[in-house]
Every structure is written in structure tokens, then in C-alpha cells.
Copies of this chain bind each other. A is one copy, B any other.
Amino acid sequence: MIKVGIVGGTGYTGVELLRLLSQHPEVQLTAITSRKEAGMPVAEMFPSLRGRVDLCFSTPEDAKLTECDAVFFATPHGVAMAQAKELLAAGVKILDLAADFRLKDTAEFEKWYGMPHACPEILAEAVYGLAEINREAIKKARVIGLAGCYPTSVQLGFAPLISPKSTGGKKLIDLNSLISDSKSGVSGAGRKAEVGTLMAEASDNFKAYGVKGHRHHPEICQGLSAIAGGQSVGLTFVPHLTPMIRGIHSTLYARILPDGKDVDYQSLFEKFYAGEPFVDVMPAGSTPETRSVRGSNALRIAVHRPQGGDTLVILVVEDNLVKGASGQGVQCLNLMFGLPEKTGLSHIALLP
């Protein structure tokens, strides 16, 4: 059994880790920390766990995290990087659900997250946690900066169009005018008391936000550029707050270049994701629904070329808390410890 600790379990990614890990056959949950709620049974905060998870929140001191095999950080930005060094020294593997180990450029990190990076040397070795792209590196990693929720959907949606493995190096689409019109359920904003995500504000309502600039923009560009073999990428990214609890739907737009005029995009996507346990390329003409992945680690994609024109439309859905966060974390954990990638991730989406 892999001994796993969770730092910061009072948010939505925390409770989702508890749901997934408490049913994982190879994991033993040893501690979950919350300085503020230390002593409270987690099942008191999250009644869905009554009878299923007996842990109480503990202080970081009591949690003895250095005795774990792996530690998840389900914390605000900045926490993981402050504790990474000590844990690594103790031989503990780290999976961070926040952004501390995502952006390779520390200046970019500081610009978007408002703090200097505490451990650039660990950042340098950290692997970006998106298994479909970085599987082999993840297997060997000590530190994972898990891909963000929006970035997962956007990168996996564009990857078959830009990865040299897929394109053979041809320029199928214009890398400088990519568009991602993304819609997220409100759980993406976390379990923080804020007026903007009150039900009386956010339900029966729809709006864009972060149009000027969103923290996931540099992360997506970094990732797409890496997938594209280092080419620079120009992306317009517009996130929207959607009146539902879970789910991300990214509608991606790409302009086809001359080399891409005669490509069979359905085949291209199917080949690229052949054998992937969690990516489902849907039949031509499909329109995936967010509820089809609610509670599951699946990500579904459909590719369209309306009227056979020059604009490709890629539709991507995922559960922001599973494939966009905690499920992705468990998927990486499985890889890091040599387990079959699907272990503990067999949940079928809840529909209706």
C-alpha cells in the first residue's frame, strides 16, 4: 500500500481526492491536514464521507507527512513550494494541485501569482502533470505540477493538431490565432466564501470573466508550445462562469492552413488518442455533454469542420474536479508508483 497524505483538505479538490483515494485499492490515506479545522472529522465537513472516511483533519505537525510515500497539495498557491524541499529530502513524492510547479518561467509565476518562487531548483525538475502528454516523464518524477483544469481541456483538444508526432511536422493550423472559448462550472472557483459564486448570484446567469488575462493563459501557451515542439503559440482565451456545479466545456477554434486542407481530422484525433485510457474521441458529428463525465476521469472530444470550411471547431468536456484536478492527480500517482494507470479511477459518470 502506498501511504498518501493530503495537505489542505477542506476545498473541493480535497474532498474529491478523499472520494477517489479512499476507494483506491493500493492507497492508504494516512493524514489530511487543515490547521484551521484540526481535530474535526472530515466526514463532519463532508457528510458524503460518513461511514467511509474516518480521518480527522490534523495539524501539519501531527500529520507526519515525511513518513508518507506521496503527498498531495490541495492548497492555495504558494504552500507546496514552501514544503517541497523537506518532503523531497525525506523521499516523499509530491503532487501539487495548485500552480506552484506549473510555470517553468519564475518571472511569469511571479507576475501571475504575485509572489516570488521559493524553490526554482525544484521547479526545474518538476514534471507537468498531464499524463497523455508527459507519461514517461511522470513515471520518473519526484514532483508533479498537475495541469490546471482549463489547461487540460485546451491542451488535449489542440494536441493532435500541433504535435509533430501527429502532424509529421506539417503546419495544419495557424498556431498564432488559436481561440479557446471555455466554460466552467462554479466548483472551479473553489469552496471559498465569495459573493460572486453565491447561488443567488451565479445560478440562472452566464458571464465571461478574466478576459484581460487569466492565470491559465500562460500555462496553456507554455503547454501548447511544448506539444508543438517549441513553436510559439498565440491564443485568445475567454473563460466563462457557467451555472452548473461541475464540468468544463472548451470550444476551440483553429484556422486551417494550406497543409491542413485535405486532412481527415476525425482519423487524426482517433489515431493520436488510440489506447488512451481516459480520452474518448467521439464519433464524427458528436457534441459531448459535460454530464457525460460528471464524477469520472474521462475527457471526451469531438472535432468538427463546419461546412467544410477553414475553421476547425473542437469540443472538449471534462469534470474539472476529476480529470481537471484530483483524478488527474491519482492518474499521475498511479504512473509514479508503477500501477496500472486506471487503478482506482473506474467511476462511471453520474447521469442524470
A residues at B contact (CB < 8 Å): 12, 15, 19, 22-23, 46-52, 177, 179, 181, 183, 185-187, 189, 191-195, 197-209, 211-213, 234, 236-238, 240, 242-247, 249, 251, 253, 255, 280, 282, 285, 287-296, 298, 300, 304, 306-307, 309-311, 313, 315, 317, 321, 346-352
Query: Is A186 a contact partner of B199 (Cβ separation < 8 A)?
Result: yes
In the assembly, what is the distance between CA of A240 and CA of B311, in Å? 18
Q: Which of B48, B199, B247 contacts A199 (CB 8 A)?
A: B199
Known: A247-B205, A290-B205, A313-B236. A177 touches B255 (CB 8 A): yes
Chain B residue with Cβ nearest A289: B207
Query: Is B315 a contact partner of A208 (Cβ separation < 8 A)?
Result: yes
Q: Which of B50, B249, B304 contacts A240 (CB 8 A)?
A: B249
Task: Collect the chain B residues with CB atoms within 8 Å of residue A191's CB.
Answer: 195, 198, 200-201, 352
Known: A193-B194, A206-B249. 9 other contacts (CB 8 A): A46-B351, A48-B296, A50-B292, A50-B298, A189-B200, A204-B246, A206-B317, A207-B287, A242-B243
Known: A199-B198, A352-B187, A352-B245. A205 touches B298 (CB 8 A): no
Q: List 18 A-B contacts (CB under 8 A).
A: A48-B292, A48-B293, A52-B348, A179-B179, A183-B206, A185-B204, A191-B198, A193-B193, A199-B243, A199-B245, A203-B244, A204-B247, A207-B249, A208-B251, A211-B315, A213-B306, A213-B307, A294-B350
Task: Collect the chain B residues with CB atoms within 8 Å of residue A15's CB.
Answer: 351-352
